[in-house]
Amino acid sequence: QITLKESGPTLVKPTQTLTLTCTFSGFSLTTSGVGVAWIRQPPGKALEWLALIYWDDDKRYSPSLKSRLTITKDTSKNQVVLTMTNMDPVDTATYYCAHRPWGAKASNWFDPWGQGTLVTVSS
Amino acid sequence: QSALTQPPSASGSPGQSVTISCTGTSSDVGGYNYVSWYQQHPGKAPKLMIYEVSKRPSGVPDRFSGSKSGNTASLTVSGLQAEDEADYYCNSYAGSNNLIFGGGTKLTVL
């Protein structure tokens, strides 16, 4: 059974850097084809893809947020970490991590997802 | 890259069929067979329902089906059931290592 769980601060101040950790079980990020993505959802709004890291350490970022994001993995700990710099109130959202099972790198679908963690940006 | 266009809402009575559209461009939906659909109940994480346009993951009822024509992908829910009431999001590869989601559709079972 694959599970993922997000952890990190629930409240950050504007201009601060957000660090979120996704701890997973039931799969290995060393298996060919596997990846982990971060996706966020502002309250009452749509999903937005942020970043994706593959088993071979290839990394992909949303073009609109690329300058602020860094995704890394620690295969020994079964964790993926996302950092987002210069946080703003508009970044208030539930942040999800999700498992990318396999396939060509252009074919990205996510199953399952973590439960999500709500991050509020406010002074 | 703009979000994919979905109708804000859709509805149907139990037992009926409903189709939700997801319109993009030739640079995303129309250019690749890499469209996926997610179901999200209130307060819950999204759940994968369809991947690669029309493939159904294990455990997803065959009442859910996906298709694509040109720049528009569609999710059809047949034999509507009360538990199908949820938000639905489409997602597509958009080239240049980019992924985009639709704005979401709230499906109501009347």
pLDDT digits (tens, 9 = 90+) for A82-118: 999 999 999 999 999 999 998 888 889 999 999 999 9
DSSP string, A31-75: STT-EEEEEEE-TTS--EEEEEEETTS-EEE-TTTGGGEEEEEET
Please state, in angstroms and rounded to a whole number, the distance separating the CA atoms of residues B104 and A21. 27
Reported as a single tens digit per residue, the pLDDT across B43-85 is 999 999 999 999 999 999 999 999 999 999 999 999 999 999 9
Mutate one of A97, A109, A115 to test the B interface: name it (highest B CB count within 10 A).
A109
Reported as a single tens digit per residue, the pLDDT across B2-45 is 889 999 999 999 999 999 999 999 999 999 999 999 999 999 99
Determine, for residues A111 and B52 on separate chains, whether the beta-carbon distance falls below 8 Å: no
Whether the pLDDT of residue B98 is over 80: the answer is yes
Please give the pLDDT value at position A31. Answer: 94
Q: Is B83 on the interface with A (CB under 8 A)?
A: no
DSSP A11: E
Task: Give chain B positions within 8 Å (CB) of A116.
Answer: 45
Please state, in angstroms and rounded to a whole number, the distance separating the CA atoms of residues A41 and B22. 19
Q: Is A109 on the interface with B (CB under 8 A)?
A: yes
Please give the pLDDT value at position A106. Answer: 87
Mean pLDDT of A29-49: 97
Mutate one of A111, A113, A117, A118 to test the B interface: name it (highest B CB count within 10 A).
A111
- Residue A29 C-alpha, separation from nearest chain B C-alpha, in angstroms: 19
* Nearest CB to A63 within list B91, B98, B102: B98
